[in-house]
Structures are given as C-alpha cells and as structure tokens.
Chain A
Amino acid sequence: MLLVLLVVVVLNFLMLHLAPGDIADTIAQTMGGADEQDMAELRKQYGLDQPFFIQLFNYVVRVALLDFGHSHFYNLPVFDLIMERFPATLLLVFSAQILSLFVGILLGVYAAQNPNGLSSLFVNMFSLFGYAAPVFWTGILLLIAFSLHIPIFPVSGMRDITIESGNFFVHFFDVLRHLFLPMITLASIFFAYYSRLCRASMLEVLGADFVRTAKAKGLSKKDVLLKHALKNSLSPVITFAGLSFSAVVSGAILVETVYSWPGLGTLAFNSIISRDTPVLLGILIFSTLMVTVGNLLTDLTLKALDPRIKI
C-alpha cells in the first residue's frame, strides 16, 4: 500500500519534470517576463538547479511530511485545501459504493431465482444502460428531472446555508437530502454491474451440491437462499467491487462537478480551470490513498466472508 503511494508520488514528480515549462516559467509569465539571470535565480530558489535525483528525493520527502505545495489560486497550502474537501468525497464514494452493493446484491439474488424472467431481463438491460450512459449525463438528467421540473431535491451543494441552528438530526437530514441525487447517480453505474455479477454467481451456487443438501434437509427456501447460497456467491461480487473502487472515485469526480458537491472532484475541476497543478497532483495522491484503503476494506470483507482466504 505504501509502495503504491510512493509510486504515485514518483510518477507525479516525473510528470511535473517532463511537462513543458516549470514553476519558474509560470512565475515569469505572471510577472510579465524575466531575463536569464532572474530565471536562474528563481530556479535556484525552487531547487530546480539541483540534480534530478536530489529533486526527486526532496519532492518525496516533502510529500511524506504532508507538504503538497501551495495553491496559487486559493493562496492556501494544498494539504489544508484537500483536507477541507476530503470528507465530502469520502461520504459520497462510500455511500454510493455501499448502496450499489446492497441494491445490486438484492436484485441479483432476486433475478437468480428466475433466470429467464422479467427481473433478469431488467438486470441485463440496466447493466447495458450503466455501461453506455456517461455518468455526468445521467447526473444532469436526474438533476433536470428531480431538481428543476419536480423540485424535490436541492440543485447543488452539500448543506443548506439557511439552516444555521438545529440539532444533529436537522443537519443530518439536510446533508442526506443533498446527498441523495449524487449518490444515486454514482451508484447507478455500479449497481448494474454488481447485480449482473451477483445473478451469475448465485445461479452457479444454486446448482451446487451443498444447496441441494440444504434443501433436502428441509430448510425453508429463505434459509437456503440467504444463509447458504448467498454467502457463498458473494465473493466474486465483493472482489469486483474492490476492483471498481478506482472507477467509483473517477465517477465521483464527474458527479461532484455536476452537483457542485464540495469534494475533491469540484476542487479538481476548479484547479483545471485555474491551472492549479499542485492541487491536481495532491488530489491524485489523496484519491489513490482512498482507493487503496477501499481495497484493504474489500480484502477484510472477503476474509470475513470466507475464512479460507489469507491476506
């Protein structure tokens, strides 16, 4: 896990290094040009005159000490900026992932009992939709439908600023109301995949001998399905969910931009517009961290489901 982060940091540095122009150029441009001597001075100030590996080492050390540089647009340290937005993204990503897993598994189990029925057709149709519809477009359509035409949900943001006082529950439901559409949008891609996978794996398990034994033993249909079959069919779904984590984070960036959700995605969007590269690189590091933590949680869940798995 640490290795992954280290590689991201090194990759960041390499991209910065290889990209045309450096900090000195940017500063010189905003100053309206500088002569050779000033440029050399600037490069020295930012350590750009050092050998490649020393620069790399310095960069890694700085990142390890949580110094991601300075955002020239917000005039704040990048780390503070990211920490401020990080919880919102975390909330969106994990709630969407959990919702899509829950609904996907439920639908998959239901469809597996009737492999050629309507529900199976629905699962297949929906997974096609999830693959083909770009998530930001789904988001805009939901926004048009449920915030503009039928104004049930707020258009953007995470909190209603008119609510100042009130107890915990008032704030909780306020955030929930704002979260609903972004969460549904993000979950709509993945629950289709999960339900399709769960249906397939459930169908396989339902044909296994131990399910026949359980039925022969006289267990009720519900017990056979939920206690015996489901537990054994979950591991491919969970594995796939773990692999999808990076895609969920990527999707979250687009969804946040649509709903102006105050997380890393909108920050990334703004930093592209304002050419705020340090922020973008910091977000890349942080979201990789989020994905690796997500993967770790997946592995732990898999282990809890199947004690034979060793981490």
Chain B
Amino acid sequence: MLENEEIEEPTIKPVKEIFQTFFKSYSAVTGLIILIGIAVMGFIGPIFYPTDPFDMVWMPFSPPGADGFLLGTDYLGRDILSQIINGARVSIAIGFSAALVSCFIGVGIGSFAGFYGGWVEETLMRITEFFQVLPTLLFAMVIVALFGSSVLSITLAIGAVSWASVARITRSEFLRIKELDFVLASRSSGSNNMALIFKVILPNAAAPIIVQSALLVGAAITFEAGLAFLGLSDPNVISWGQVIGSNRVYILDATYTVTFPGVAIFITVLAISLVGDGLNDALNPKLRSR
C-alpha cells in the first residue's frame, strides 16, 4: 500500500503535535466531550439531583415523563434517572481502574518477556496465551462468586482477566525497540536493565499501549455491566448492568427500564472508542490507514 512507502516518522511526536492531531478530529473531540460529560454527571450529578437511586419514590412502572420522573420508575418504584446518574460513577470508576490494573499486569509481563527473551519470554507468553484461551467472563464470575462482590473484587477480577492483549502489544514493541541504536547507546553508557526497561524502552513503546488501554476501558465497562447483569455486582452501589438485569423480567410491562441504562452503556463505550481512535491517529501516524 502507498501509506507504507512514506518516510518513516519517529514514533514519539512532540506532545503539542499529538494534541493538535487529536483535537483536529471531530469524532475524537465529540467522544471526549461526551465522556467528560458522563463523568461529571456521575461524580457531581447527585448534588444537583439528590434522589437516592435505592429509594422507593413512586409507584412501580411509571412510564417516562409521567408523574415528574423523566425516565420513569423501575419495578420497585425507584427513579431510573437517578439510577443512571449514580450508575455512571460506578461504571466510569470500575472501567478506568480495571483498565489500569490490566495495564500494569500487561505492561509488566509484556516488557519483561520482550526484554529478556529466552525462557523468561517463553514462560510469560505461555501464561499470556493461557489467559487468551480462558473464557474471561466465566473466570471473572468464579472470582467474584468466591471472593464476594465488592467494587474492589470486581475491579481486580476484570483487571486480572483482560491484560493479555496489552502484554502481547508491549512485548512486540519491546522486541522491536530493544534492537535500536539508542538502547545500545544507553546500555553502553551504563544503564542497568531496570532503567533500560522502564526509562528507555517503555516511553518509546507507550503509544500503542495507551491506545490499547483506552479500548480496554470500554471493554471493562461492558464487562462490568455483564457481570452486574448476571447479578454479580456490589449490592451497595447501583450500576447500569444491574438495573438492566433486575428489570429484565418485566420488559413486557416496561421496555424503558432496560432501554435507558443500555443506551447509557452504549453511549459511554462509544465515546471511549471514539477517543481511542483519536488517540490512535494522534499517536501512531503510521497506522492511520487501518
């Protein structure tokens, strides 16, 4: 393809240029604005809309708009708008922290595998392959079912099962970069292995890892929603998946009780995906054609 014949650009572009490319893309900026809006809604919204999502405020199955409840009430007469506002906090928090956890594990395993090679690589990549074969949702279900469904255990469970892609990307970047001259230069000027891994190679491998982690945030949010849908969510906090799961039986009477939380998940993940694409374009100019 034509794009591949272009002159190879350096992987790290000046920060300013990255921001410029990112903010030039309408879809990425839209995604970012939506995402910030949802986060603000989740963290500050309850101050302006103080209805407790667990409170029974009205009759069950009051349709949207009627009786002063914009999105109606659910099977227990709880305000769905309030559930969506408060659910945003949980989804965003779990999504980002679970992605952070898998980023840590993935970068750790991938960088060591790529840097050291040999049996270290062999062993670590075997473990990674294993986590790719494992049906992740089931594994997370087992963890949450056995260790209790708190926000912390759910976050750790999601993080612990979804790092394989990060590890593979990190490893392949390390394999490529460790052969480059500047690494040799750094080594000959006396850097030890840890410094080489974390200070020399990792910053240069960051771009694809950041993009992949952005996608992981979206995946973690749907993952959490799936667990909550199955009834494995922290009973003390409201979450979008949980709202869908608990109202599922009543779709005959009240379609809207599952529609709105689903739309919320959809929009959030879509926004993250748009931001991810924007980051990809800004950070990896060579991959833009994909």
- The chain A residues found within 8 Å of chain B, CB to CB, are 4, 7-8, 12, 15-16, 18-20, 128, 131-137, 140-141, 143-144, 148, 200, 203-204, 207, 243, 245-247, 249-251, 253-254, 257-258, 268-269, 272-273, 275, 277, 280-281, 283-284, 287-288, 291-292, 295
Contact = CB atoms under 8 A, between A and B. Distances in A.
Interface of B is mostly: helix
B231 A272 contact: yes
A254 B137 contact: yes
A287 B225 contact: no
B283 to A, nearest CB: 19
B36 interface: no
The interface residues of chain A, by DSSP majority, are classed as helix
B230 A254 contact: yes
B133 A131 contact: no
B258 A291 contact: no
A272 B145 contact: yes
Interface of B: 1, 130, 132-139, 141-143, 145-148, 218, 222, 225-226, 229-232, 241, 244-245, 248, 251-252, 255, 258-259, 262, 265-267, 269-270, 273, 290
A287 B141 CA distance: 13
B226 A291 contact: no
B290 A291 contact: no
Contacts of B232: 272
A293 to B, nearest CB: 11
Given A246-B135, A272-B230, A283-B138, 17 more contacts: A15-B142, A131-B273, A133-B262, A134-B229, A136-B225, A137-B244, A140-B251, A141-B262, A204-B1, A249-B137, A272-B141, A272-B145, A272-B232, A273-B231, A280-B138, A288-B134, A295-B133
17 contacts: A19-B146, A128-B273, A134-B222, A134-B262, A134-B265, A134-B266, A137-B258, A140-B244, A207-B1, A250-B136, A253-B138, A268-B141, A269-B230, A269-B231, A287-B135, A288-B135, A292-B133
Contacts, number: 133
A272 B230 CA distance: 8
A280 B142 contact: yes
Given A15-B142, A141-B262, A273-B231, A132 B135 contact: no
A110 B229 CA distance: 36
Contact of A257 (B146, B147, B229, B252): B229
A19 B147 contact: yes
Nearest to A290: B135
A235 B129 CA distance: 19
Contacts of B266: 132-134, 137
B135 A284 contact: yes
B252 A246 contact: no
Nearest to B268: A132
Contact of A136 (B141, B244, B269): B244
**10 shortest A-B CB distances, which residue pairs?**
A250-B137, A137-B262, A19-B146, A132-B269, A132-B270, A249-B135, A287-B135, A134-B222, A246-B135, A284-B138
